[in-house]
Structure 1
Amino acid sequence: MSLTTAFIAELIRAANEADKLTPFEVKRLLSRSVATIRDMREQTGIPGSNRARDVVIDLQVAAARADTLSAAETRDVLLDAADIIRTLKILLDGKE
């Protein structure tokens, strides 16, 4: 299992246990997601966006307010991060 696949699984597991996560754990997972997405975008040649609708910005905002997110919001944002990373992984695997 690749590190990316393992991280996707970690995000999904965390989303399924969102009510048990501390704000610190949520921030850590979201920060890792942002770094992973940026790195994978660079590898695929997909540019990021400075617009308000960029998923990376949404994840950064969620990380900043992790202590106020409900369990449902936490679950949703972690699943969004996993979905984006999975999509980028498929694109990268297709380039090889």
Structure 2
Amino acid sequence: MSLLAGFIVELVRAANEVNKLRDDEKCRLLQRAVRTIRDLRVEIGIPESAYINDAAIELLEAYAQIKDGRSDADVVRAALLKAAGMIRDLKIIRDAKDEVIDGDATH
């Protein structure tokens, strides 16, 4: 299993067990997810977004709620699942782009 696939599994598992996680664990996962999303976007050529409606901003908002001690399990769960979905989607795009560049794609 690739590192990204393993991280996606970790995010989903954490979302399913969010009530068992300490706040520092939730924060660590969300920070890592935002960094991973940013890195994947750069890798596949998606320009950085300064728009407030960027989906990654929602992850940072959940992080801020945890840090402020006002996090809700449902909000954290949703953020972890959103992060997993975003990373999965970006991984698919990156892998497809790599196939096209390498000439391995079949039509």
Q: Where does 1:72-91 land on structure 2 (aligned, <5 Å)?
A: 72-91=74-93
Matched-pair contact (CA < 8 Å) for 1:18–1:75: yes
Question: How many matched pairs?
Answer: 96
2:48 alignment partner, SS class: coil
Contiguous gaps of at least 5 residues in structure 2: 99-107
Matched-pair contact (CA < 8 Å) for 1:11–1:78: yes
Q: Judge which range, 46-55 or 28-37, deviates more.
A: 46-55
Q: Quote the Cα distance in structure 1 between the aligned partners of 2:27 and 2:49.
A: 21
Moved over 3 A (4+): none
1:19 aligns with 2:14: no
Q: Where does 1:5-84 land on structure 2 (aligned, <5 Å)?
A: 5-66=5-66, 67-84=69-86
C-alpha RMSD of matched pairs (Å): 0.9
Q: Quote the Cα distance in structure 2 between the aligned partners of 1:48 and 1:83.
A: 19
Q: Quote the Cα distance in structure 2 between the aligned partners of 1:75 and 1:58.
A: 12
Q: Deviations over 1:20-39 (max 9, x none)?
A: 11111111000000100000
Q: Quote the Cα distance in structure 2 between the aligned partners of 1:5 and 1:32.
A: 14
* Structure 1 residue 48, shift from structure 2 partner: 2.4
Q: TM-score scaled by structure 2? A: 0.85
* Structure 1 residue 4, shift from structure 2 partner: 0.3
1:52 alignment partner, SS class: coil
Q: Quote the Cα distance in structure 2 between the aligned partners of 1:88 and 1:64.
A: 24
**Identity, % of aligned positions:** 49
Structure number with greater Rg is 2
Q: Quote the Cα distance in structure 1 between the aligned partners of 2:8 and 2:70.
A: 24
Q: Quote the Cα distance in structure 2 between the aligned partners of 1:22 and 1:55.
A: 24
